[in-house]
Amino acid sequence: MTTAADARRLGRRLDLLVFAATAACFAGALRNQFVWDDWALVARTVGFRGFDLRHLFWMFTTRHMTVYMPLPWLSYAVDYAVWGLNPLGYHLTNVLLHAAAATLFRGLARRVLAASLPGTGGAELELGATAAALAFALHPLRVESVAWISERRDVLAGLFFMPTLIWHWDAAAARGARRRTLLALSVAAYACAALSKASVAPLPAVLLLLDVYPLRRLGAGRAGTAAVLVEKIPYVLIAAATALMAVYAHASTGSLEPLSSYGAGSRVAQAVYGLGFYLSKTAVPTGLCALYPRPRSLGFLDARVLAGAAAVAACALVLRLAVPERRARLALWGVYAALLLPVLGFLQNGPQAVALRYSYLSCLGWAILVGAAAARASRAARAGGTGGRAAAGALALWLALCVGATQAQLSVWRDDASLWSRVLALSPDSPDADENMAEALMRAGDWAGAEALARRALASAPADRAATLLLASAEARQGRLEPARAALVDALAAAPDWGEGRLLLGTILSQQGADDEALVQLRRAAELDPGSARALGAVGAALARRGRFEEAAAFFAAAARAAPDEPRYAELLRRAEADRDRAAPR
């Protein structure tokens, strides 16, 4: 007979198994480099490189890259203190955080399965919870969140999201001081999850759905329902603050797509596409890539939208046959839709229509469904049924195929060239993919290749500033300064307040010897972005070349204040002051 102590020992061993299997599965990420946003978010950002009050203030107030995420910034600060800018350390942290989140999810899955499958216990329950955790952790849809350093916020939010649910679940059965302690821990964990990624804002809805099923706490009398609702107030307050901060961060940085350029109908169609996309990719994870470009408009008769609707309908039919309990189906669909709601496109941000990283938390319910199937198959197999063994074998095969697909995806995320080659193979007409591949080629020194891709991106999106900047940079690197200058002049005629364009134009004019014109452009760039150390430093350098060391020193001082962690501006200031003193009349 299995004792409670035996069950605890088995649980600990299975927790260790889940952690080790997850870490081993994603160990290939440790060979990967910085990719995509990692260059701007980590490699070129200095605000998180320290733990003094100035750096901490920056981490808890910045909306850099359109997101508010203080806890991920803190984790990057720890990585930087240990590893500097070696990507291995950042990848290692992501892998360990994901493995820890998967281990915690096993505990959550055990609780849900025990309540959902009456009569299931012991080894069958532990097996089901382990299968759920592995279905979540080892699936190739997790690669984007784990192998992309910039998505640290996914795995960190997941690490806090799991105990939020676990402690809330345990509080439902507790009384007195223990219940208050568990609720306080749950709320604190939710606050940490919210400070990691705003997409956890729908958590109060998830808690209510779990109260409907399988906890069955709602509908047990007016007093009981009122108590259940009151305990959600702290979560709702955190969720509201998180949602408002996220919208403010996107709106204040101009990253939200206006309704005038992407209409309400397109957004609803995109939501239908998204709801079906993650279901189909969870079941059959093929054709995966980093960017699924969003079209300029999306109609309900678009093939992608029709496929999404078909996937939802097929899943609904399968669930009706496999899950007889209506409340269970409601909870599964509700949790899935609630956690996807912030990223379905109603507040569109970015060039993507869907993104694999959005499945990190939203598909937890489907992983628990896999765990339920594994527990039932184990019970049937123990009873001697061939159907149970066949079902267990099918689940094992599906999981093995997922692990193989995960390894393939990890190699895709190896570096920018590999990543964007994959995107271009699946979406050859994507200007965003062309631009990102062009940036990768620029970093590799392939100016001609970058120029060709930038031209192709501009052919699809003639007003695209990023592609124009890449084209001019690539031409300038090849010594073709005049066409680079002309491209920027044309673009600035349509967008005169484009600071980055004026900064590059001023640099090119300096190389052409047009110092007066260059200084005008550089000053304007600094006026448009007074917090840009690059622009301020460029003005200072232009003034220093003209022997105006007093003015140059003032701009270098401003650049040093704008980027206090960048030592070169302090060094340029020192040199300008020394040159000023030498040039002063004696």
Among 469, 476, 509, 511, which Cα is nearest to 490's?
469
Average pLDDT over residues 329-339: 96
- 145-169 tens-digit pLDDT: 999 999 999 999 999 999 999 999 9
Task: Name the pairing type of β-strands 352-354 and 292-293.
Answer: antiparallel
d(CA 349, CA 107): 34
Report the topology of domain 496-586. Answer: 1.25.40
Q: Which two tokens stand for residue 292?
A: 């699924």
- 191-222 tens-digit pLDDT: 999 999 999 999 999 999 999 999 988 865 56
Res 574: pLDDT = 92
In one-letter notation, the amino acid at residue 219 is G
d(CA 134, CA 22): 8
Domain range list for the chain? 4-412, 496-586
Reported as half-sphere exposure (CB side, CA atoms, 13 A), residue 544 has a value of: 20
Among 182, 135, 136, 176, which Cα is nearest to 163's?
182
108 three-state secondary structure: helix
Look-up of token digits 């349509």: 494
Answer yes or no: pTM beyond 0.85. Answer: yes
DSSP 8-state assignment for residue 548 = -
- 275-328 tens-digit pLDDT: 999 999 999 999 999 999 998 889 999 999 999 999 999 999 999 998 988 999
Look-up of token digits 């997922």: 402
